[in-house]
Amino acid sequence: MSAWDDRVEQVWAEATGDEVGDETIARIDALAAERGPDDARAEFERAGARDSAGRPAEAVELYRRALALGLDEEHRPQCVIQLASSLRNLGEYDGALAVIRAEEEASADGPYRDAVAVVHALILASAGRPHQGLSVALLALVPHLPRYHRSMTAYAQEMAERDT
């Protein structure tokens, strides 16, 4: 991890448990400025600060910019997850579903697959399709069960049909 990463982590560690506000945004923006306006990671951190401060509309623009600039494979899925979550918070369910479904396909075996499923489930529930959301969450849990994979998969698929 670089010294810059350490300083970003320090800002987030100090913000943990507290409401993120203008001070955290200013600190992240100052760190981002060190890397310049066309740095994907800097834009991602700026977006996250605004998202954590309850400013999802501002965050969405910055998440999209970070993705367009090209994030590394550690931060790209995080950015997509956070973008989809912000779109959900704004009530843009179709856009959020498009983003999260594309990520499900792109990183089906990635380390963030369960986080993707959780956000997918939340989006569906918020969009008035709670049974489909529950189905997505249950299907994400099935691989972690010691037994009952076949039956729980069938129940989850049956559950999804209740919203159609």
Closest among 52, 74, 51, 70 to 61, alpha carbons compared: 51
Confidence of residue 18 (pLDDT cuts 50, 70, 90): low
Q: What is the per-residue pLDDT for 49?
A: 97
Alpha helices for 74-112 (secondary structure H): 75-89, 93-106
Three-state DSSP class for 54? coil
| CATH fold label, 84-164 | 1.25.40
Min mean pLDDT across 9-18, 36-45, 46-55 is at: 9-18
CATH number of 1-71: 1.25.40
Cβ–Cβ under 8 Å, residues 28 and 48: yes
**Residue 66: strand, helix, or coil:** helix
The angle formed by the CA atoms of residues 8, 87 and 140, to the nearest 5 degrees, is 85
Q: What residue ranges do the domains of the chain occupy?
A: 1-71, 84-164
Judged against a pLDDT cut of 90, whether residue 96 lies above it is answered with yes
Domain pair 1-71 / 84-164, same fold: yes
The pLDDT confidence band at residue 19, using thresholds 50, 70 and 90, is confident
**pLDDT grade for 111, boundaries at 50, 70 and 90:** very high
The pair of structure tokens assigned to 49 is 């600060």
Q: Is pLDDT above 80 for 1?
A: no
Distances (CA, A) of 4 to 28, 32, 45: 11, 9, 12
pLDDT (average), residues 116-134: 97
pLDDT at residue 15 in the model = 86
Rounded distance, CA 39 to CA 68, Å? 10
Predicted TM-score (pTM) of this structure = 0.93
Quick one: tokens of 118? 């959780």
Task: Give the per-residue pLDDT at 17.
Answer: 67
Q: Residue 18 and residue 131: Cα distance in Å, rounded?
A: 33
Mean of pLDDT over the chain: 95
pLDDT at 164: 74
